[in-house]
Amino acid sequence: MSESDSDKLLRTVFAVIGAARESVRDELPLDWQQRVAERAVKFASAAQPSRLNIFLFHQSVSGQAETINTVDIKGLDHSRFDYDQLIRRNISIALWSNPGSRIILVTDDAFMARGIADPRVSIVRLVLADGEPMFERVVAMLAYVESSAFTAPTIFLDSDAFLIRHCAGLFVNDFDVAVTYRDIGGQMPINEGVIIVNDRHAESVRRFFTRYLATYLTLEHHPVVLETYGKVRRWRGGQLSINAVSGGWQRYSAAIIRTDFGARFAYLPCSRYNYSPDQEGEINAAMLARALVLHLKGSRKPWLDRMVTVLEGFGFSETALR
C-alpha cells in the first residue's frame, strides 16, 4: 500500500522535530551573548510599571520573503494582509481586555513609522536582518527578558493572536514558562504563537529563551532541517526550536512539570489558550466563554472584522487605543 500524503506529512514533521531535539543546546556562543546584550539595552525605554506586559513583534518583509511555500504551508502570501491595522487592533483589544497592561511592540524602522501616541504602548525599534523575521523575533524575546523592561508577567503573542479575555488568575499558578499544545496530524504540537512567562523566577525564564535561541542557531544547520525547509531563519525555525526545547514529544496533556534546566513548565491546550477556529462562524459569543486568545493565523486573518463585531457586543471599542 502506498503512503498517503497525510501520512507522509506526519512522518516529515516527526523527522524534523527529531532533528530539532538533536540540536538542543543550553549555551549561546559568545558573539551572540554580546549581540543579545546590546539589544537588551534598547528595551530601557519600555521599562514601565504594569500588571502585565504584552510583547508583539512585527518585521516588514518584501519580495520573496512575503510568500511561504513549504512542505506543510502552501501559498501563504503575507502581502495580502494589512499588518498596520492588524496590530493596531491587537493592541486595542489587549488594552481593553486587560486594563493596567502595557504593550511592547518590537519592530524595524519602517513599520508604523508615525508610532502610537498612547502612553501604554512602547515601540522598540531594532536593526533587523532582512528576510529573517522568525529568527529575529526569538533574538528579540531573549533580549527583552534579559532587559530592565522584564518587570511583570508577560504574554508573547503573534501579531494575529488576540488577547480577548482578562488574564486574572492565570499567573497565580506556579509556573515559569507556559506554552500551548495541540494534537493535529501534520502540524507541530507546540505552537509558538502564544508564550506566557511569569516574572517570579526571572532566571528560569532567561534560561528557557537562551536555550530557545541556542537551539535555533544549531538546528538551522541540521541536514534534515535544511532538506525539509531550507533557510529557517525566515520561516519554521522558531516553531522547530520551541518544540525541541519544550520536550519535543508528539502528544501532550495539561500539566506543570519541572524541566531538566530547572524551570517549571506549563502545557496549556490551544483550544482555550491559543484558539484557531476552523470556520469563521465559530467566532461568536460562546467563544469568549472558552478562549483566552483567538489566533487568526494564516488564511484566517480576513475574519478580523467578524472578531471585532463580536467583541463590540461585549463593550469593546476601537477607541480603546488613545
Per-residue pLDDT, averaged over 139-154, amounts to 97
Q: Is residue 128 part of a domain?
A: yes
Give 236's DSSP letter: T
How high is the pLDDT of residue 23?
96
CATH of the domain at 117: 3.90.550.10
Q: Is residue 320 part of a domain?
A: no
Hey, what long-range contacts does 257-264 have (CB within 8 A, 24 or more apart)? 259/208, 261/26, 261/204, 261/207, 261/208, 261/211, 262/204, 262/207, 263/176, 263/177, 263/201, 263/204, 263/205, 263/207, 263/208, 264/174, 264/175, 264/176, 264/177, 264/201, 264/204
Half-sphere exposure of 128 (CA within 13 A, CB side): 27
Residue 144 — φ and ψ, nearest 5°? -60, -50
Pick from 72, 20, 27, 12: nearest CA to 248: 20
Q: Is residue 263 part of a domain?
A: yes
pLDDT in tens, 202-236: 999 999 999 999 999 999 999 999 999 999 999 89
Q: Is residue 319 part of a domain?
A: no
Banded model confidence at residue 168, pLDDT cuts 50, 70, 90: confident
Whether pLDDT at 75 is above 50: no
Pick from 213, 238, 208, 207: nearest CA to 225: 238
Whether pLDDT at 77 is above 80: no
The Cα 256–Cα 47 span in angstroms is 29
Banded model confidence at residue 320, pLDDT cuts 50, 70, 90: low
Q: Is residue 287 part of a domain?
A: yes
How many other C-beta atoms are found inside a 10 Å radius of the C-beta of residue 114? 6
Which residue has 544547520 as its cell numbers? Answer: 221
What's the mean per-residue pLDDT of the chain? 90
Q: Give the amino acid at 74.
A: K
How high is the pLDDT of residue 218?
98
Banded model confidence at residue 61, pLDDT cuts 50, 70, 90: confident
pLDDT in tens, 24-57: 999 999 999 999 999 999 999 999 999 999 999 9
Q: Domain range spanning residue 63?
A: 5-314
Q: Is residue 297 part of a domain?
A: yes
Its pTM stands at: 0.93
Number of domains in the chain: 1
How high is the pLDDT of residue 151?
93
Banded model confidence at residue 68, pLDDT cuts 50, 70, 90: low
How high is the pLDDT of residue 70?
59
Q: Which helix (H) or strand (E) holds 194?
A: strand 190-197
Q: Do 110 and 61 contact (CB within 8 A), yes or no?
A: no
Q: Is residue 283 part of a domain?
A: yes
Q: Is residue 322 part of a domain?
A: no
